Chains A and B, each alone.
Chain A
Amino acid sequence: MPEAARLLRFARRLSRDTSSAEDLVQETLYKAWRSFRQFEEGSSARAWVFRILVNTFYSQGRRGAGPVPVREPVENPSVLERLEIEQALGTLAGEHRAVMLLSVVEGFTCREIADILAIPIGTVMSRISRARQALREQLREKAIR
């Protein structure tokens, strides 16, 4: 299960909750194991598993719109940078956060993201653009403060 760690990274940020993210990944991998016959050879296995995760997440009625975690001040610059990015990602709308993470962090193409989220590629492109814009504004605000 080499994808488990990547799935967990994505699930944590999608659901914004560590323990429910673990349940989500567990359910995803179990479903993938049970429905492996439905996987179409030639398509991306990674995209297929991520699609199962996204479907499972939304079928559970979750939207990942929990509160943005407030953290104690941190001195280490790399940790600080990571927390800042994480907080900025946390302010994005769920659908914008999902495309941003799938594209930039997980390295999926716009076409693969369209397949994972079952939305048109044009919607993926506009969501990525809006997510980038919103992130830049968030990080700029933090820099000014």
Chain B
Amino acid sequence: MNCREVEEKAPLYLSGELDASDRASFEGHLAGCQSCAAEVAAAFAMDTRVREASSELPDASRVQSAVRRRIVERRRRSWWQAAAVAAALVAAFLLYKPSPAARVLTDAAKDHAAEVTQHQPRRWRTSAQDIAALAARYQLTDLNALAPEGYRLEHAKMCGLDHQPALHLVYTNGSQEYSVYVRSRLWSDNGVHASGSTVSYQNDRVAIIATGNSSAECLKFAEAAARVL
């Protein structure tokens, strides 16, 4: 090591960060160079003076108390915030009640999934006469007109949607089956309502609820119902 390297590496030497070989090389230079040895000794002596003059530690109890107070306050606030959120969630859970009409649409989608998609055994009416008798309850005469072009009526039966009787009609286009429910009015305003892939249409007298795989097809059923009713 030369004088410039010693000057450069002195901070690492004095902080004990030089590895064994660098330290040996550093001290080897000091042994043969009075000027560098004096510089390093002066730096060491001054570090010692600064360290000794700074050995006294201030009283930090006031700061510590203030931090503890802030932490306690923060924890309390966090607890209240968590409690408020939990209370709001519980209240929302307890107070949430879907509207009866929305429940009917949900029921229709579930009923279609069970009875049509999963083919759970049901006593379907297949004879045109039986089905016409059921449709007469809702003053419906032309059930084929309730479906868009390309669909034919497969079978029908009475069922319940949100504890109210409904006529369940199943239409097919050869590959897909769609359910159409005829029931008493659902909404206060007439027209088309949609929820997921379930679409309803109602006039002053009855509501038609179409549900199945595609919401676009269901909308076609609702449009057909709007023309007929």
Chain A residues close to B by CB (< 8 Å): 1, 4-9, 12, 22, 25-26, 29-30, 33-34, 81-82, 84-86, 89, 100-101, 103-105, 108-111, 124-125, 128-129, 132, 135-136, 139
Contacts and interface: CB of A to CB of B under 8 A. Distances in A.
A33 B66 CA distance: 13
A128 B60 contact: no
B46 interface: yes
Interface of A: prevailing SS: helix
Contacts of A104: 47, 50-51, 54
A136 B15 contact: no
Interface of B: prevailing SS: helix
A85 B54 contact: yes
Interface of B: 7-12, 15-17, 42-43, 46-47, 49-54, 56-60, 62-64, 66-67, 70-71, 74
Contacts of B58: 5, 8-9, 12
A1 B64 contact: yes
Contacts, number: 92
Given A1-B64, A5-B60, A103 B15 contact: yes
Contacts of A85: 49-50, 53-54
Given A30-B67, A86-B53, A135 B46 contact: yes
22 contacts: A1-B67, A4-B63, A4-B64, A4-B67, A5-B58, A6-B57, A7-B60, A8-B58, A9-B57, A22-B62, A26-B70, A29-B63, A34-B74, A81-B52, A82-B56, A84-B53, A103-B11, A104-B47, A125-B8, A125-B9, A129-B8, A132-B43
A22 B59 CA distance: 10
A111 B17 contact: yes
Closest 10 CB pairs of A and B: A4-B60, A85-B53, A5-B57, A128-B11, A5-B60, A82-B53, A105-B54, A125-B11, A29-B67, A8-B60
Contacts of B70: 26, 30
Given A26-B66, A30-B70, A129 B11 contact: yes
Given A8-B60, A105-B51, 18 more contacts: A1-B64, A8-B58, A12-B58, A22-B62, A30-B67, A81-B53, A84-B53, A85-B49, A85-B53, A86-B53, A103-B11, A104-B51, A104-B54, A109-B17, A125-B8, A129-B10, A132-B43, A136-B42
Nearest to A103: B15
A87 to B, nearest CB: 11
